[in-house]
Amino acid sequence: MSPERKAVRRVSAAGLTEPSGATWSNCLLVGREVVMSGVTSRGASASTVAQQARVIFSRIESMLTAAGGGSRNIYKLLIYVTEMAFREDVNTARAAAFRPYYPASTFVAVTGFTFPDLLIEIDAFANLDVDLQAAAR
């Protein structure tokens, strides 16, 4: 018996299209799992890590909405920063973007990103069958 194949759909959110010639997808819906490439603030006028984090969380929410969900469906975050000193600014932005239960999270310092003006990049893992806010009630 062959394994069941999951439906795959490319998700497009307004203003978040892949550049011409891109060799990746910003967001895919694989079954009920929402899979995103690392999300950055590239193209936005955001120079501080707090501003960049807010832009990123907004972009993640836009992609999840386009996939049929929202931030409540995120169960894990992997946050990359260029300096550990950014932890409090990122925590403030994360607290504004989510409510208890908060997603599981990993915070990692890296030496840099593809574009030197970026200070933060976030991987978000979501499933449309998961609702952390309902679980907190």
Residue 82 is assigned to a structural domain of this protein: yes
Residue 127 is assigned to a structural domain of this protein: yes
Q: What is the mean pLDDT of each run of 10 residues along the chain (137 residues)?
A: 74 82 89 94 92 96 96 97 97 93 96 94 96 84
Residue 61 is assigned to a structural domain of this protein: yes
Question: Total domain count for the chain?
Answer: 1
pTM above threshold 0.85:
yes
Residue 2 is assigned to a structural domain of this protein: no
Distance CA 28, CA 9 (A): 6
Q: Which domain does 63 fall in, by range?
A: 8-136
Say what the pLDDT of residue 104 is.
96
Asked if residue 102 has a cis previous peptide bond (ω within 30° of 0), the answer is no
Say what the pLDDT of residue 100 is.
85
Q: Is the dihedral of CA 115, 102, 16, 44 positive or negative?
A: negative
Residue 39 is assigned to a structural domain of this protein: yes
CATH number of the domain at 105, please: 3.30.1330.40
Residue 3 is assigned to a structural domain of this protein: no
Phi and psi angles of residue 131, each rounded to the nearest 5 degrees, phi first: -140, 95
Residue 1 is assigned to a structural domain of this protein: no
